[in-house]
């Protein structure tokens, strides 16, 4: 069989009939269009990860009973990226004087919170709020922080470096330290395929930390094991579970499940839960969500925190005002302080001491010791 090209060689091109000539013209035109179309797409070679050596894709093992995690297309998880993020998370190099890392306020043993009412940054400076647990933080798609001011983990990771009460540093300085570091340029090259140490930027730092944080999944508490049929509740825990979810007409209702929706035990939303007595909506000492949205009805609203590992994350509330779960329950039993934006689900409860004991027993089934002791989440500088 004669090849097409032999049959339609250049020397014969001018001998084509009109139909063939038109078709050939169309072929070249379309071919050109196709090439233009293909090359109009973004040039990956300009982006980290688009260079000569590619990092290893990482498949996140997501719990089947969780909502699916939203993974940004411009920051895919990679083994090298996660490893770099973990290193950066624990490295005090990010702070002004090398004394504070992300992990200073997010300790694994406290489910990545710090056990303080107000987190402490460089030079002992106290921040305005308590540190939030990072358990399952990759699922937070309605904003980060107590007030939701950062839209993504990548945005959030940029903030603490420059906050005076946290790391009190300067990103230009941090970038310089990382670029001239004996190890980090190589780690960034492996994680993001950069060609030059000058390509190490704050944005890549944030991407790496965000990658690591997305792996901080807590889904192996007793609560999860019961769901999987691998464990069973005690009588007290089961009674507490029913109270928590308002699942029995014979038991008092706790109203917990409206906001602390399982399996994340937060609906990620922002509410005034009545902890602060104010005369008007302008009166909140910390305006919380309202400071971000500038909507007066958002004043005094804060993120519904996850209750996973709640046993490990005392003190409670954005200002750490409650030291124990018993104090938290006493607050909710009281119905909270009235305000125009008090969440109506916070209402007086009729609880006995047994009800409180059982509800707390259930809350403790949300403690995930595998999560807090997971070596993949531990400080790499201790290895």
Partner 1 sequence: MKKIFFLAASAVLLLAATCRDDEGSSIESIEMNFKSSFGNAPLVMYESAYPYEAGMAVKLQLFQFYLSNISLQREDNSFVLLKDVALISFKDILTPAAAAEGITLNTEGLAAGHYKGIRMGIGVAPNLNSTNPANYTPPHPLDDNYWSAATGYVFIKIEGNADTTGNGQFPAKLTFHTGANDIYKEKTFQKHIELKEGEPLQLNFSMDLKKVLSKGPDNFLDFRQITQDHSNNPAVYTFIADNLFDALVLE
Residues that bind partner 1 (CB under 8 A): 4, 7-8, 19-20, 23-24, 26-27, 30-31, 33-34, 36-37, 64-70, 139, 141, 242, 245-247, 249, 253, 255, 257-258, 261-263, 267, 295, 297, 335, 338, 340-347
Residue 266 beta carbon to partner 1: minimum distance, rounded to whole angstroms: 11
Say which residues have a Cβ less than 8 Å from residue 374's Cβ, sequence separation at least 6: 108
Rank residues 10 and 182 by Cβ distance to partner 1 and give the closer one: 10
- At its nearest, how many Å lie between partner 1 and the CB of residue 285? 21
User: Measured between alpha carbons, how far is 222 from 176 in angstroms, rounded to an integer?
Assistant: 45
Distance CA 196, CA 173 (A): 18
Q: Cα separation of 329 and 354, whole Å?
A: 12
Sign of the C-alpha dihedral computed for residues 251, 327, 307 and 317 taken in this order: positive
In terms of CB distance, is 39 or 352 closer to partner 1?
39
- Cβ proximity to partner 1: between 310 and 342 the closer is 342
Write down the least CB distance from residue 166 to partner 1, Å.
Answer: 28
- Residue closer to partner 1 by CB (options 53, 334) is 334
| Cα-based distances in Å from 361 to 195, 227, 245, 356, 358 | 54, 17, 14, 9, 5
Minimum distance, C-beta of residue 323 to partner 1, in the bound complex (Å): 27
CB of 308 to partner 1, least distance (A): 15
Cα 111 to Cα 12, 261, 378, distances in angstroms: 76, 19, 11
Please, are residues 365 and 223 in contact by the beta-carbon 8 Å criterion? yes
For 205, which DSSP code?
H
Nearest residue (CB) to partner 1, 10 versus 64: 64
Of 163 and 246, nearer to partner 1 (C-beta) is 246
Residue 126 — φ and ψ, nearest 5°? -90, 135
Residue bearing tokens 């990956």 = 44
Q: From the CB of 309, what's the least distance to partner 1, in Å?
A: 19
Rounded Cα distance between 278 and 168, Å, is 32
Min CB(382)–partner 1 separation in Å: 35
Name the residue nearer to partner 1 (CB basis): 176 or 295: 295
Helix (DSSP H) and strand (DSSP E) numbers for the chain? 15, 2
285: which 2 tokens? Answer: 């000492």
Around Cβ 367, how many Cβ atoms within 10 Å? 19
Distance separating alpha carbons of residues 273 and 283, to the nearest angstrom: 15
Nearer to partner 1, 8 or 236 (CB): 8
Q: Which is nearer to partner 1, 27 or 376 (CB)?
A: 27
Question: Are the C-beta atoms of residues 94 and 88 closer than 8 Å to each other?
Answer: yes
User: Could you tell me the smallest distance in angstroms from the CB atom of residue 240 to partner 1?
Assistant: 13
The Cα 207–Cα 232 span in angstroms is 40
CB of 165 to partner 1, least distance (A): 31
- Mention every residue, 6+ apart, whose C-beta is less than 8 A from residue 360: 240, 325, 326, 329
């Amino acid at each position: 069989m004669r090849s097409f090209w032999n049959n339609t060689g250049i020397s014969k091109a001018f001998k084509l009939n009109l139909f063939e000539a038109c078709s050939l013209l169309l072929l070249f035109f379309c071919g050109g269009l196709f090439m233009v179309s293909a090359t109009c797409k973004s040039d990956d070679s300009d982006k980290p990860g688009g260079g000569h050596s590619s990092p290893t894709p990482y498949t996140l093992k997501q719990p089947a009973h969780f909502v699916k995690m939203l993974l940004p297309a411009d920051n895919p998880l990679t083994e090298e990226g996660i490893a770099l993020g973990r290193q950066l998370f624990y490295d005090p190099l990010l702070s002004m004087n090398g004394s504070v890392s992300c992990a200073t306020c997010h300790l694994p043993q406290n489910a990545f919170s710090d056990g303080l009412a107000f987190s402490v940054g460089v030079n002992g400076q106290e921040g305005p709020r308590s540190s939030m647990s990072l358990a399952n933080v990759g699922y937070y798609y309605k904003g980060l922080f107590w007030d939701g001011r950062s839209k993504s983990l990548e945005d959030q990771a940029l903030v603490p470096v420059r906050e005076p009460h946290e790391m009190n540093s300067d990103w230009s300085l941090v970038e310089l330290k990382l670029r001239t570091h004996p190890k980090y340029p190589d780690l960034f090259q492996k994680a993001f395929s950069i060609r030059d140490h000058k390509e190490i930027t704050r944005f890549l730092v944030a991407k790496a930390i965000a990658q690591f944080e997305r792996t901080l999944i807590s889904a192996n508490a007793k609560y999860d094991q019961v769901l999987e049929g691998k464990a069973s509740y005690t009588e007290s825990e089961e009674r507490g579970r029913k109270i928590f979810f308002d699942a029995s007409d014979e038991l008092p209702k706790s109203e917990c499940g409206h906001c602390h929706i399982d399996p994340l035990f937060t609906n990620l939303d922002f509410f005034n839960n009545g902890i602060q007595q104010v005369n008007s909506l302008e009166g909140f000492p910390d305006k919380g969500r309202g400071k971000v949205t500038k909507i007066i009805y958002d004043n005094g609203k804060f993120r519904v925190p996850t209750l996973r590992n709640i046993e490990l994350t005392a003190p409670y509330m954005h200002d750490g005002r409650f030291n124990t779960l018993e104090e938290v329950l006493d607050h909710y039993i009281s119905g909270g302080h009235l305000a125009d934006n008090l969440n109506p689900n916070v209402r007086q409860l009729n609880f006995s001491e047994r009800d409180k004991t059982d509800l707390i027993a259930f809350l403790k089934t949300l403690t995930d010791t595998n999560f807090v002791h997971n070596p993949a989440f531990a400080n790499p500088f201790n290895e």
